[in-house]
């Protein structure tokens, strides 16, 4: 597969490089802002789970450009991973589930509150959907807990969610703290992905609510929330955002609409500076990476299908060997492609 095939396959990946964004997710925040105008009047913002930094880039470009004095804009970016620096963005490397991280952010604002908190946090996906959704929800709730320490009354919180089966509980939790909760699906977020964004407006915590990081928000007997029916069931508005003329992230577009020969491949804007897979990539380049062969066993019940003669369908165990070597690890392109 040539380098440009990724550019063709994913138009937002290509545009991210053309416009100098570190990841294609920049377009998600831009399209959310087009719909909800979340940057309006914002001078202090926290970007949780910010690496490699495309949302921080959007915040820095948009807020600082529109400010009379760019130095008045305070942007704090927090992530487990280190991130290359950006103009006007203060970085905190830390875990958003930890109170110590919340304390560092609070001390940076010196008693002032944030106007906006955004969180694009995603755990490493295991492929076990229930588990992935649960961990994602826990991350969002950690972000919400931090937000309750930082956000001014009336402020906005935007967070990535997975629209899994327990998402109704999340909406209920968010509705306790915000007057308005909407689920947004930007055009740049693939339809094939269960990802969406909760846009929570008008922060208004319950009276006497004391923020703390210990809220076991998801550990309730929450099945009941999903069994509510009729008027008791919380229906949160769902909004597709991004202009209809925007590119469809599930479509493939030609590289250059008018003259294909003009197409020039661009490298990614910013290579991740210390990604967790760095060592594996280095070992791979030196040909020192172990090459495991793993086996997949297909076991099907005897006689399940009369017209199949394949051994694998006759109740025996059939083994396929897959060579992991065919999976290419690419350090520089991986971020823009995946986010």
Ligand X SMILES: C[S@@+](CC[C@H](N)C(=O)[O-])C[C@H]1O[C@@H](n2cnc3c(N)ncnc32)[C@H](O)[C@@H]1O
Burial class (CB in 10 A: 0-12, 13-18, 19+), 333: middle
Segment interacting with ligand X, rule: CB under 6 A, options 19-27, 187-195, 237-245, 257-265: 19-27
> Binders of ligand X among 51-80, rule CB under 6 A?
51-55, 79-80
The contact pattern for ligand X, residues 127-156, with x = CB under 6 A and - = no contact, is ------------x-----------------
Shortest separation between residue 6's beta carbon and ligand X, angstroms: 18
Q: Does 95 participate in binding ligand X (rule CB under 6 A)? A: yes
C-alpha pair distances (Å), 126 with each of 131, 184, 208 = 8, 25, 39
Shortest separation between residue 183's beta carbon and ligand X, angstroms: 18
If phi > 0 it is left, if psi is from -120 to 50 it is alpha, else beta; for residue 111 that is: left
Q: Is 274 one of the annotated binding-site residues?
A: no
Nearer Cβ to ligand X (87/315): 87
Q: Does 120 participate in binding ligand X (rule CB under 6 A)? A: yes
Shortest separation between residue 241's beta carbon and ligand X, angstroms: 17
Decide: helix, strand or coil at residue 268.
Answer: coil
Q: Across the strands, what pairs with 178?
A: 203
Q: Which residues contact 170 (CB under 8 A, 6 or more apart)?
A: 137, 140, 141, 161, 198
C-alpha pair distances (Å), 171 with each of 31, 147, 217, 240 = 21, 16, 12, 17
Q: Is 79 one of the annotated binding-site residues?
A: yes
Active site residue 160: yes
Q: Does 23 participate in binding ligand X (rule CB under 6 A)? A: yes
Q: Which residues are catalytic?
A: 160
Interface with ligand X (CB under 6 A)? 22-23, 25-26, 49-55, 79-81, 95-97, 120-123, 139, 339
């Amino acid at each position: 597969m040539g380098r440009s095939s990724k550019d063709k396959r994913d138009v937002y990946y290509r545009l991210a490089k053309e416009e100098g964004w570190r990841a294609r997710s920049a377009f998600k925040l831009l399209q959310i802002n087009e719909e909800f105008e979340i940057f309006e009047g914002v001078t202090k913002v926290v970007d949780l789970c910010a690496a490699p930094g495309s949302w921080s880039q959007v915040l820095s470009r948009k807020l600082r450009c529109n400010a009379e004095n760019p130095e008045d804009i305070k942007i704090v970016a927090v992530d487990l991973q280190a991130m290359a620096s950006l103009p006007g963005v203060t970085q905190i490397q830390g875990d958003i589930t930890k109170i110590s991280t919340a304390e560092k952010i609070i001390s940076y604002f010196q008693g002032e509150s944030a106007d906006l908190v955004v969180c694009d946090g995603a755990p490493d996906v295991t492929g076990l959907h229930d588990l992935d959704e649960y961990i994602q929800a826990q991350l969002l709730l950690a972000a919400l807990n931090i937000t309750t320490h930082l956000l001014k009354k009336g402020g906005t919180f935007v967070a990535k969610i997975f629209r899994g089966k327990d998402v109704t509980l999340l909406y209920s939790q968010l509705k306790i703290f915000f007057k308005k909760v909407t689920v947004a699906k930007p055009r740049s977020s693939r339809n094939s992905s269960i990802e969406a964004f909760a846009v929570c407006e008008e922060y208004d915590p319950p009276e006497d609510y004391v923020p703390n990081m210990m809220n076991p928000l998801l550990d309730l007997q929450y099945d009941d929330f999903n069994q509510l029916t009729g008027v008791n069931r919380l229906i949160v508005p769902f909004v597709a955002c991004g202009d209809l003329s925007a590119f469809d992230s599930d479509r493939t577009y030609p590289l250059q609409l008018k003259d294909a020969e003009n197409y020039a491949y661009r490298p990614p804007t910013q290579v991740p500076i210390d990604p967790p897979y760095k060592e594996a990539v280095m070992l791979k380049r030196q040909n020192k990476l172990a090459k495991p062969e793993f086996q997949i066993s297909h076991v099907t019940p005897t006689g399940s299908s009369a017209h199949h003669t394949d051994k694998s369908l006759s109740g025996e165990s059939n083994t396929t060997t897959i060579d992991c070597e065919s999976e290419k690890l690419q350090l520089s392109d991986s971020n823009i492609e995946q986010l």
